[in-house]
């Protein structure tokens, strides 16, 4: 018997649930790609992408997933033989570094302690030792989607400054943008890399880079530059140059709608909503972990992401759980990636998400745990509900005061 008939619930860390209004915004014919509405839509998106990243830096929109935006950031700033320092905290920064290595960049990895975020002091020490400034770029993710580590982007900038090091600071916010505070300008980020399909609630297919003046200056001498990704070509001022060819018309319609929704809610409100819903997920995982094999991957509660939670399953078969939840319950959980394959599952909690969606996902996960015979502590759903009630109760009191 299966209980999966009904709307399947996607609780993977990207793509996230696409709002109905965003899907509907795509349901119309193509338009002229050279003038009229497409120009206005492109310009308004470029303006609002600045707001979303809290920057005056120029955004670039690629018809690409996050990997494409990674490649754009690298090719526009680096030359063969340059060194990039990759700050590891899971899987994703490593992947970005592997891409750089294949292009001929020398890649050095600074490892974090197991299940911990990047240590800013270690970054400072490594950069101080690079007296000749061979390191041209520092690469880090704000949230690692495999480990669910959240890195302190402002603290890492402070470490780079304390070392007096001129390397470009490049930050991947693909799994955190729209979900968690990010201040490109205030935090001194030189290149921000994003994608549409996670916190930005848009179907997959758009990647973004924001490049500040230092990054645009690096672009003038980067010998890895190629035409499709090229920031200079794309800054040429003609509409078609924004996309180096045909605009992704329907994805732009979708993104326009998603940005309208995000900005109507308010960026801070969206960050606060993610924090509250993540609190509910953590309350449930904490309760489950009190008995049996389950545990948070991230050891320090302050380093847990507000957009995804990686749950270690010890000797229990996480893959069987995941398959059961999808087949029998209509809940799609994220699979364990890299070193976590088979021995973890991930709950995505990013984007267009409210309390019933999160509580439903937690309830269905608990059904799966019980049905699959995975031992777990009691009271997870009580704890999740109490967490949200406390959060909203406190907000209500603040409003009344």
Ligand X SMILES: *Cc1c(COP(=O)(O)O)cnc(C)c1O
CB 262 within 8 A of CB 351: no
Residue 14 interacts with ligand X (CB under 6 A)? yes
Pick the piece of the chain touching ligand X (CB under 6 A) from 20-28, 76-84, 149-157, 170-178.
170-178
Q: How far is the CB of 2 from ligand X (least distance, A)?
A: 29
Using the contact rule CB under 6 A, the part of the chain among 106-114, 168-176, 225-233, 351-359 near ligand X is 168-176
145 touches ligand X by CB under 6 A: yes
Comparing C-alpha atoms, which of 243, 232, 224, 313 is closest to residue 41? Answer: 243
Helices and strands: H and E segment counts in the chain: 13, 12
Q: Fill in the DSSP letter of residue 344.
A: E
Closest separation in Å from C-beta 236 to ligand X: 26
**Is residue 141 a contact residue for ligand X (CB under 6 A)?**
yes
16 binds ligand X (CB under 6 A): no
- Given the complex with ligand X, which of 251 and 369 has the nearer CB atom? 251
- Under the binding rule (CB under 6 A), the answer on residue 343 touching ligand X is no
Q: Is 14 left (phi over 0), alpha (psi -120 to 50) or beta?
A: left
**Strand 331-335 to strand 308-312: parallel, antiparallel, or no bridges (unpaired)?**
unpaired
Kindly write out the interface string for residues 53-72 of this chain, putting x where it contacts ligand X by CB under 6 A and - elsewhere.
Answer: ------------xxx-----
Among 174, 278, 287, 311, binds ligand X (CB under 6 A): 174
CA nearest neighbour of 308 among 317, 321, 298: 298
What is the Cα–Cα distance from 66 to 59, expressed in whole angstroms? 14
Q: Is 248 in the site for ligand X (CB under 6 A)?
A: no
The residue of the chain with the least Cβ separation from ligand X equals: 66
* Least CB distance to ligand X at residue 108 (A): 19
E strands present in 98-165:
106-110, 135-141
Task: Report the residue number, 65 or 75, with the smaller CB distance to ligand X.
Answer: 65
Strands 295-296 and 308-312 turn out to be antiparallel
Q: How far, CA to CA in Å, does 231 sit from each of 33, 62, 158, 217, 242?
A: 20, 11, 27, 10, 9
Alpha carbon 118 to its chain's center:
16
Per-residue contact string for residues 65-104; x = within reach of ligand X by CB under 6 A = xxx------------------------x------------
Question: Whole-angstrom Cα distance, residue 73 to residue 90?
Answer: 20
Which of 97, 120, 178, 195 binds ligand X (CB under 6 A)? It is 195
Within the chain, what is the greatest distance between any pair of CA atoms? 66
Can residue 175 be called a binding residue for ligand X (CB under 6 A)? yes
DSSP tag of 302: G
172 vs 303, beta carbon nearer ligand X: 172
Count of residues touching ligand X (by CB under 6 A): 11
Task: Report the nearest approach of ligand X to the CB of residue 174 (Å).
Answer: 4
Q: How many CB atoms lie under 10 A from the CB of residue 55?
A: 21
User: Does position 149 bind ligand X by CB under 6 A?
Assistant: no
Nearest distance in Å: CB 95, ligand X: 7
Q: How far is the CB of 312 from ligand X (least distance, A)?
A: 19
Contact residues toward ligand X (CB under 6 A) are 14, 65-67, 92, 141, 145, 172, 174-175, 195
């Amino acid at each position: 018997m299966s209980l999966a008939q009904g709307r399947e619930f996607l609780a993977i860390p990207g793509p996230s649930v696409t709002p109905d209004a965003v899907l509907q915004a795509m349901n119309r014919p193509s338009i002229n790609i050279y003038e009229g509405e497409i120009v206005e839509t492109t310009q308004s998106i470029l303006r609002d992408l600045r707001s979303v990243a809290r920057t005056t830096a120029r955004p670039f929109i690629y018809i690409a997933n996050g990997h494409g935006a990674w490649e754009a950031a690298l090719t526009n700033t680096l030359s063969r033989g340059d060194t990039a320092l990759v700050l590891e905290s899971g899987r994703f920064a490593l992947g970005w570094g592997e891409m750089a290595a294949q292009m001929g960049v020398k890649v050095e990895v600074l490892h974090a302690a197991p299940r911990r975020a990047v240590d800013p002091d270690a970054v400072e020490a490594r950069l101080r030792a690079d007296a000749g400034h061979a390191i041209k770029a520092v690469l880090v993710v704000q949230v690692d989607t495999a480990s669910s580590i959240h890195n302190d982007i402002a603290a890492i900038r402070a470490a780079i400054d304390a070392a007096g090091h001129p390397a470009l600071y490049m930050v991947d916010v693909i799994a955190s943008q729209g979900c968690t505070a990010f201040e490109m300008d205030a935090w001194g980020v030189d290149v921000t890399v994003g994608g549409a399909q996670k916190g930005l609630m848009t179907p997959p297919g758009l990647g973004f880079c924001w490049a500040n003046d230092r990054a645009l200056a690096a672009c003038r001498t980067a010998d890895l530059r190629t035409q499709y990704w090229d920031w200079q070509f794309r800054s040429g001022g003609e509409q078609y140059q924004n996309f180096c060819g045909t605009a992704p018309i329907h994805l732009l319609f979708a993104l326009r709608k998603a940005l309208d929704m995000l900005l109507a809610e308010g960026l801070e409100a969206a960050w606060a909503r993610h924090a509250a819903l993540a609190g509910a997920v953590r309350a449930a995982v904490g309760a489950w972990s009190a008995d049996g094999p389950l545990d948070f991957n991230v050891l320090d509660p302050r380093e847990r992401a507000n957009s995804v939670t990686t749950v270690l399953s010890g000797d229990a078969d996480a893959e069987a759980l995941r398959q059961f939840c999808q087949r029998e319950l209509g809940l799609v959980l994220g699979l364990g990636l890299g070193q976590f394959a088979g021995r973890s599952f991930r709950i995505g909690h990013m984007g267009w998400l409210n309390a019933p969606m999160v509580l439903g996902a937690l309830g269905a996960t608990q059904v799966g745990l019980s049905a699959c015979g995975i031992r777990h502590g009691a009271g997870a759903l009580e704890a999740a509900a109490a967490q949200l009630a406390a959060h909203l109760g406190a907000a209500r009191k603040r409003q009344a005061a």
